[in-house]
Amino acid sequence: MPNNKYAFFNGAIVPIEQAQVSVMTNALNYGTGCFEGIRGYWVPEESQLFVFHLRAHMERLHRSCRILYMQLPYSVDELCAITLELLRREAFQEDVYIRPLVYKSDPAISVQMNGLKDAFTLFAIGFGQYIAGSAVRACVSSWRRIDDNIIPSRAKASGAYINSALAKTEALLNGYDEAIVLGSDGQVAEASSANLFIVRNGALVTPPLTSDVLEGITRQVVAQLAQDQLGLKVVERPIDRTELYVADEAFFCGTGVELKPIVEIDRRTVGSGAVGPVAGQLMQLYSDAVHGRIPAYRPWCTPVYEA
Report the alpha-carbon angle 237-182-143, nearest 5: 170
Check if 5 is active-site: no
Q: Which amino acid belongs to residue 293? A: R
| CA dihedral (213, 218, 219, 220) positive or negative | positive
Helices (H), 68-160: 76-90
Strands, E assignment, 217-282: 233-236, 249-254, 258-265, 268-269
CA 13 to CA 291: how far, in whole Å?
27
The closest alpha carbon to 211, from 138, 141, 145, 257, belongs to: 145
The catalytic position among 5, 104, 117, 156 is 156
| Residues contacting residue 75 through CB under 8 Å, at least 6 positions apart | none
Q: Are 80 and 52 in contact (CB under 8 A)?
A: no
The residues annotated as belonging to the active site are: 156
